[in-house]
Amino acid sequence: MDKSAQRVSLAEIFKTFFMIGLTGFGGGMAIVALVERVCVREKQWITAEEFLHGLAFGQILGPFSLNVCTFTGHHLRGIRGGILAAAGFIMPSFLLVSLLSWLYFTYNKLPQLQAALKGTNPVVIALIVVVAIDMGKKQIKNANGVVMALAAFGAAVFLKLNAAWILLAAAGWSLAVTIYRREST
């Protein structure tokens, strides 16, 4: 940890990530770009290289937007810094969704709300379809990938297998391929 990092107060960390969580519309990569602008360029809390490493590690588990916040917070002030950064980032969305969910479950039966939600429902499905297509273009690079994607689709739609089991099976499959490739080169 460098010297300038030591001086950042926990309150400052919380406030900064709360603002990011409040204004970072656009999700995923848009948030990462915002965190990068604020923490790497403006405040110089973390170097660009370390930030990129954090982003790489952030792909392992959970949402990487949250993970880069935790990583940067930890870099500044250890475990407390990491937890405060994560909490600050999530809090605005948490409060907003809590409020909206409460409104939703209370006024569920209102005809106006029902009508509005009838409009959003097909759009949500369209969003999921587009995500699948765009992810597919980016992540499926060879025949092995095509087979895996089709197998996962079939297992979910036709065999009705639990999503967690499909994910575990895919992890085993992918690990085997990784080890095989490593051994054979």
Contacts of another protein in 102-131 (CB under 8 A): 102, 104-105, 112, 114-131
How far apart (Å, rounded) are the C-alpha atoms in residues 40 and 42? 6
How many residues contact another protein, by CB under 8 A?
Answer: 99
Is residue 174 a contact point for another protein (CB under 8 A)?
A: yes
Scanning residues 53 to 82, which ones bind another protein (CB under 8 A)? 53-54, 56-67, 70-71, 74-75, 79, 82
Tokens of 127: 């969003």
End-to-end CA distance of the chain: 38
| Shortest distance in whole angstroms from residue 15 CB to another protein | 16
Q: Is 92 among the residues that bind another protein (CB under 8 A)?
A: yes
Long-range CB pairs of 96-99 (<8 Å, 24+ gap) are none
Binding mask 132-161 for another protein (x = CB under 8 A): xx-xx--xx---xxx-xxxxxxxxxx----
Q: Is residue 80 within a helix (H) or strand (E), and if so which, with residue range? A: helix 64-107
Q: Which stretch binds another protein (CB under 8 A): 7-15, 36-44, 50-58?
A: 50-58
How many angstroms from the chain centroid is the CA of residue 134?
Answer: 16
DSSP 8-state secondary structure symbol assigned to residue 62: S
Contact 30, 24 (CB under 8 A): yes
Measured from the CB of residue 64, what is the shortest distance to another protein in angstroms? Answer: 8
Binding another protein (rule: CB under 8 A), the pick from 33, 47, 98, 107 is 98
Site for another protein contains 178 (CB under 8 A): yes
Helix (H) or strand (E) holding 150: helix 143-157
